[in-house]
Amino acid sequence: MKNALIPVGLCLLLLALAALPLVAGAYLQGVLVGVMSAVVLASAWALFSGPTKYISLATVAFFGLGAYTVAVLADHVPFGLILIVAGAVGLAVALVVGLATLRLAGVYFVIFSFGLAELVRQLITWAETTLNKTLGRYIFIDIDARGIYWLLLALAVATLALRWWIERSRLGLAVHAIGDDETVARHAGINVTAVKLALFAISAVIITLAGAIQAPRWTYVEPSIVFNPTISFITLIMALLGGATRLWGPVFGAVPLFFFFEWLSVKVPDQFSVILGLAFILIVFLVPNGVLDLAQSALRRLGLPARGKEAPHA
Amino acid sequence: MLEVRNLTKRFGGLLAVNNVSFHLKTGEVVGLLGPNGSGKSTVMNLISGALMRSAGEVRVDGQRIDGEPAHRIARRGVARTFQLVRLAPSLSLRENVLLSVAFGPEPLWGADAVRRADAALDRVGLGGMGDRRVPDLNYIDQKRLELARAIATRPRLLLLDEWMAGLNPTELKTAIDLIASVRDGGTTILLVEHIMEAVRALCPRCIVMQAGVRIADGPTAEVLADPQVIDAYLGGAAHV
C-alpha cells in the first residue's frame, strides 16, 4: 500500500511543480528558478561529496563554466546544442581535474577544489581581457523564466533519480565504502580512483548544466558574477543542513535556506555575509548529520516508527 | 601457488624487507613469524598491494601481481584481514561482506550476493546479524566480520595479519577451527601470528623473519628449535 503511494505522490508533486509557473507572476517565477537551481546544485554536490566525504568547493568552477559556454556560443548556436556543449566542457574539465586530484585526501582536496574555482575564474578573466579585449558578455537567448524553470525541474528530477539509482546499485555500495575507508574498499576489489572519478564527473556535468541553463536569465555575465565563490559555500551548506548522504537531504536543506537567504538579502543586505557565516557555523555545530537525521532520531526517541536510514543495498 | 622472489621494500633509509623469497603450495597454511618490526606485516602489505615493492617479484599461480593496484590483486582471489581491524562503519554487517562479494573475483549482485554474504556471516558466527551496524559490534565480532568479508569470495590466497590476537582461550579454539575449515575449502593461507598455540595447531610450516630478512623456513617444530630463531624471536620474548 505504502509502496504504491510513494510513486503516485511523487508524480502528483512533480505535476504540481511543473504547473506552478503557469499561475505565478514574474517575481514568483524568478523565485521558482532560484529554488530549483538551489535544489539541483545541492543534490548534485551531495551526489559526489555526500558518500565520499570529499568536500568540494569547486561547485562554482563548473557552474561558471556552464554559464560562460552559453555566453560564448549564444549568438552562434541554438540553445539546445549549447547545453550539450556545456555538458561536454564540464565533463572534460572534471575528468582532467579529477584524475589529477582525487588522490588528495581530506583537507588537501578541499583547498585544491577552492583553488580550482579561483584558477578557472582567473583564466577566463585573462582570456577575455587579452583575446576578447572586454571583460563582460551579453547573452540574448529567447527563453523566459518559465522555460528555464522547467529545464531546471527536469535536471532536478534527473539528479534525484540518478542518486536514487546509484544508492541501490553496487556503485552506491562502493562509494559509501570509499567514504569510510579507501584501503578497505581497494582490498575488496573496488577500483577506487575510477569510482571517485565517475561520481565527480557526473556531479560536475549536472552543476555545469545548471549554470548553462540559467545563463540567459542574467543577460550580462562577467567572471565575478558567475564565478562568485559564495555559490560554492551556499551549495555546501544547503546539502549539509539537509544531510548530504540522504536522497532528499539536499532538497530539505536547499528550499528553506534559499528563502532564508532571499529574506536576508532583502532585509539586511549589508550584513548578509556576516549572517551567512554565522548560519554556516551553526549548521556545522548543531546539525552535523542534517535535519532529516535529527528528525529521525527525535521520532525514535518518542517511540514512533521511523523509516530506516536510506534504503538497504541490493 | 604463491611465489615471493627477492622481495625488497625500502622506507627511505630503512630496509623493512630485505631480499625475501619463499614459496607456498596450494592448500598450504604457513605461519610468518618474527619479532615486532621484523617486516612481517610489510610482506603482507606488499603481497596484497597495500604497499608497492621496491624490488622483487610476487606471483600467484605463475602470474606476476607485484606492481598491480590492490583492487586488481583482490580480483585475482587474494583476500586479507588487517593487523588493526578495518571495516566500513557506515555500512551494515551484510553490506560490509557484500563489498568483496560484489567487487571480488567473481562479482555477484542482487539476491545471490546477499545469500553469499549471509552465508559468510553465518560461517564466522555472525548469522542473523546482517542488518546490525559495525559500531554495535565488540572487538571480537569486528574481527569475525573482517574474516567474513575476506572469505566470502572463496579466495585462493588468504592473508591473515594477527587475526587471532586478543581472543580468549574458548574464542581461540573456535577461531582455529574456523581457519582450518577455510583451509579445507582449498584456500592457501599465509598468517602472521604471535599466538604460538594457533601457529602449532594450524601451520605445519613456518617462515621466520628478523630485521627484514628471512632467517628460517621449514617444518614448524624444527624452525622453532633453530638456535638462530630462538635467539631472534623467542629470546626477545623470554623475559616477558
Kindly report, residue by residue over A114-170, the tens digit of the pLDDT.
Answer: 999 999 999 999 998 998 888 888 998 889 999 999 999 999 999 999 999 999 999
Residue B181 and residue B123 in one domain:
no
Domain boundary (B116, B138, B154) is at B154
- Can you list the residues of chain B whose pLDDT is less than 70? 233-240
Mean pLDDT of A215-232: 91
Enclosing domain of residue B91: 87-154
What's the pLDDT at A237?
92
CATH code assigned at B180:
3.40.50.300
- Partner residue opposite A173 with nearest CB, options B48, B79, B99: B99
What pLDDT does residue A147 have? 94
Residue B149 and residue A188: Cβ atoms within 8 Å?
Answer: yes
Q: Give Cα B134 distance to the centre of its chain.
A: 21
User: What's the pLDDT score for residue A179?
Assistant: 93
Strand partners, B60: B2, B63
B209 DSSP β-pair partners: B214
At A309 the pLDDT is 44
pLDDT of residue A308: 45
In this structure, the answer to whether residues B62 and B114 fall within a common structural domain is no
Asked if B69 and B170 sit in the same domain, the reply is yes
Confidence of residue A6 (pLDDT cuts 50, 70, 90): confident
> Which of A180, A183, A189 faces B91 most closely, judged by CB atoms?
A180
Complex ipTM value: 0.91
The reported pLDDT for the residue numbered A306 is 47
Other beta carbons within 10 angstroms of residue B186's beta carbon come to: 11
Query: A176 in contact with B at a CB cutoff of 8 Å?
Result: yes
Give the pLDDT of residue B166. Answer: 85
Assess A170–B contact: CB distance below 8 Å, yes or no: yes
Task: Give percent of chain A above pLDDT 90.
Answer: 66
CB of B111 less than 8 A from some CB of A: yes
All three cell numbers of A20, joined, read: 506552478
Give the model's pLDDT for residue A310. 44
Q: Is the pLDDT of residue A265 over 90?
A: no
Please report the DSSP string for A93-147 in residue order. HHHHHHHHHTT--THHHHHHHHHHHHHHHHHHHHHIIIIIS-S-EE------HHH
Same domain, B70 and B117: no
- Domain identity same for B164 and B230: yes
Final residue of a domain: which of B154, B186, B205?
Answer: B154
Q: Are residues B231 and B177 in the same domain?
A: yes
Same domain, B148 and B162: no
Are A44 and A156 spatial neighbours (Cβ–Cβ below 8 Å)?
no
Which residues on B lie below 8 Å from A176 (Cβ)?
A: 88, 90-91, 95
Q: What pLDDT sits at residue B167?
A: 87
**Does residue B82 fall inside a structural domain?**
no
- Lowest model confidence (mean pLDDT) among A11-15, A309-313, B166-170, B233-237: A309-313
Contacts of B110 (CB under 8 A, 6+ apart): A314
Cα(A220)–Cα(A155) distance, integer angstroms? 23
**Domain check: are B32 and B101 in the same one?**
no
Residue A55 near chain B (CB below 8 Å): no
* Reduced 3-state DSSP string for A32-59: HHHHHHHHHHHHHHHHHHHHHCCCCCCH
Domain positions in chain A are 29-229
Is the pLDDT score of A3 beyond 80?
no
Q: In B, which residues are within 8 Å of A174 by CB distance?
A: 99, 102-103
Indicate whether B189 and B235 sit together in one domain: yes
Question: Cβ of A190 and B99 within 8 Å?
Answer: yes
Q: What is the pTM of this model?
A: 0.89
Averaged pLDDT of chain A:
90
Which set of grid coordinates corresponds to residue A312?
538497504
At residue A111, does pLDDT exceed 70?
yes
SS3 B37: coil
Q: What distance, in Å, lies between the first and last C-alpha atoms of chain B?
A: 37
Residue A290 above 50 pLDDT?
yes
**Chain A hits for B111, Cβ within 8 Å:** 314
Phi then psi for residue B153, to 5 deg, are -90, 5
pLDDT (tens digit per residue) in B76-102: 999 999 999 999 999 999 999 999 999
Query: Is B98 within 8 Å of chain A by CB?
Result: yes
Round to the nearest angstrom and report the end-to-end CA distance of chain A: 22
Q: How many H helices and E strands in chain B?
A: 10, 10
B229 vs A42, more confident: A42
| Mean pLDDT confidence for A225-246 | 92
Chain B residues in contact with A181 (beta carbon < 8 A): 86-88
Residues B134 and B159 in one domain: no
Residues B99 and B71 in one domain: no
- B110 contacts A173? CB cut-off 8 A: no
Residue B203, domain member (yes or no): yes
Q: What per-residue confidence (pLDDT) applies to A269?
A: 84
A311 touches chain B (CB under 8 A): no
pLDDT band at A280 (very low <50, low <70, confident <90, very high): confident
Query: Pairing state of beta strands B157-161 and B188-192?
Result: parallel
Q: Does A302 touch chain B (CB under 8 A)?
A: no
In this structure, are B234 and B161 located in the same domain?
yes
Cβ neighbours of residue A52 under 8 Å, at least 6 residues apart? A175, A178, A179, A196, A199
Number of domains chain B is built from: 2
User: What integer pLDDT is reported at residue B16 of this predicted model?
Assistant: 93
In sequence order, what are the beta bridge partners of B31? Answer: B191, B206
The C-alpha cell that represents B73 in the structure block: 590483486
